[in-house]
């Protein structure tokens, strides 16, 4: 019997992305019951691999209820069961399936900021354990009407887009991911010898000190779909301005035409044609939220347009993204924050990247 697309999807997440082994504790979480078909396939595959699955199911609108009614004490509270999972789980498989992508659009920004500070310790724990090889994790999505509407597609068209972006339309998606890894590793190896990266384009001229930082190829181990090469720049070594022409979406809110000015690694000025208040609230979340946590090149050519879903949008082939907030310890990054907001810039309109003065990327394509 031919396997279903959900069985194929599950095999990528369980066999390839997290490589579940016998006896491992695997936390499978989903944001709503809509993703039952995929969650069931993942749960079954974890059992087949000898793992011990634990299921965490949300109902889509609980975050909205929490933000509306939680007191300051409740916003600051992290339950001990969740803390324990972050301490002892061997793998997290998280499946997004939103009922409403705008459910948090009207949330109190000060509450969102406070909650971000409270959960920062969990994020730090996850990244630290991952960097040490103690924790495997992957984030994926199930196609829902909400995601399709955000992307301005029908559900059928969005499902097809998702499957192609994940190479699930191919007989062997893992082989494609491995080919992607081979190509991206060459670019990462080259960039690992670079001291300074300069990016230019529309309203953009910015330099990143990347000396001693590790560039990492992403090909389905933490995000699915995937396709990027990234690092965390030296914290005080970023200077210049950068303009993001794509809409920048985060936690159900958006900011358009984001323009940032950065001095010695800190955002000193930020403008947006819309979403200015949200932009400023996020940048003022904590001590590290004005810092720069990541610079990356997107490489997935199956993704060409913004869909409003950062899991897909940051992988757009021919685009770059820069994150404000937390950096990644495995790259050598040291900036700590409850914020990690990936902002995406189209580079297919004359954008260029220079490595130690040499042109290596032009109009959305590596030329090294």
Report cis status (omega within 30 of 0) of the bond before 318: no
* Strand bridging mode 365-366 / 216-218: unpaired
Provide mean pLDDT across the span 320-341: 94
Closest CA to 119 of 330, 289, 337: 337
Are the CB atoms for 181 and 219 separated by under 8 Å?
yes
Are the CB atoms for 326 and 334 separated by under 8 Å?
no
pLDDT of residue 1: 55
Residues in the chain: 368
Minimum mean pLDDT range among 103-112, 115-124, 262-271: 103-112
Provide mean pLDDT across the span 241-247: 94
Reported confidence tier of residue 43, pLDDT bands at 50, 70, 90:
very high
pLDDT tens digit sequence for 137-160: 999 999 999 999 999 999 999 999
Reported confidence tier of residue 127, pLDDT bands at 50, 70, 90:
confident
Asked whether residue 73 carries a pLDDT value surpassing 70, the answer given is yes
pLDDT of residue 2: 67
pLDDT of residue 232: 98
pLDDT of residue 198: 98
Contacts of 306 (CB under 8 A, 6+ apart): 246, 247, 313, 316, 344
Mean pLDDT, rounded, of the chain: 94
- Could you tell me which residue, 121 or 3, shows the higher pLDDT? 121
pLDDT of residue 137: 96
pLDDT tens digit sequence for 79-91: 999 999 999 999 9
Closest CA to 127 of 342, 322, 338: 338
pLDDT of residue 316: 94
Q: How far apart are CA 174 and CA 171, in angstroms?
A: 9
% residues pLDDT > 70 (the chain):
99
Asked whether residue 216 carries a pLDDT value surpassing 90, the answer given is yes
Reported confidence tier of residue 58, pLDDT bands at 50, 70, 90:
confident
């Amino acid at each position: 019997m031919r396997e279903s697309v959900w069985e194929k999807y599950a095999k990528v997440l369980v066999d390839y992305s997290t490589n579940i082994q016998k006896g491992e504790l695997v936390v499978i979480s989903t944001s709503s019951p809509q993703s039952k078909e995929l969650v069931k396939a993942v749960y079954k595959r974890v059992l087949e691999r000898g793992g011990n699955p634990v299921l965490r199911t949300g109902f889509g609108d609980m975050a909205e209820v929490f933000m509306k009614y939680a007191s300051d004490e409740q916003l600051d509270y992290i339950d001990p069961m969740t803390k324990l999972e972050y301490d002892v789980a061997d793998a997290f498989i998280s499946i997004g399936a939103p009922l409403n992508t705008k459910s948090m659009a009207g949330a109190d920004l000060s509450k969102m900021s406070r909650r971000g500070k409270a959960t920062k310790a969990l994020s730090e724990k996850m990244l630290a354990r991952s960097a040490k090889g103690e924790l495997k994790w992957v984030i994926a999505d199930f196609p829902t009407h909400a995601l399709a509407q955000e992307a301005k597609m029908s559900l059928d068209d969005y499902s097809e887009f998702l499957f192609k972006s994940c190479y699930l339309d191919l007989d062997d998606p893992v082989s494609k991911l491995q080919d992607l890894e081979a190509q991206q590793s060459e670019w990462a190896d080259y960039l690992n010898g670079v001291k300074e990266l300069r990016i230019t384009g529309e309203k953009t001229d910015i330099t990143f000190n990347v000396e001693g930082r590790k560039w990492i190829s992403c090909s389905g181990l933490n995000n699915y779909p995937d396709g990027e090469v990234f690092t965390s720049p030296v914290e005080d070594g970023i200077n210049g301005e950068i303009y993001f022409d794509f809409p920048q979406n985060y936690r159900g809110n958006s900011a358009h035409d984001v323009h940032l000015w950065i001095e010695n690694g800190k955002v000193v000025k930020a403008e947006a044609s819309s979403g200015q208040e949200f932009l400023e609230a996020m940048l003022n979340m904590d001590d590290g939220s004005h810092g720069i946590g990541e610079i990356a090149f997107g490489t997935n050519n199956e993704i060409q347009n913004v869909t409003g879903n950062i899991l897909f949008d940051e992988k757009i082939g021919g685009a770059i993204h820069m994150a404000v907030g937390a950096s990644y310890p495995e790259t050598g990054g040291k900036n700590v924050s409850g914020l990690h907001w990936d902002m995406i810039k189209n580079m297919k309109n004359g954008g260029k990247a220079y490595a130690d003065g040499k042109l290596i990327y032009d109009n959305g394509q590596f030329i090294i």
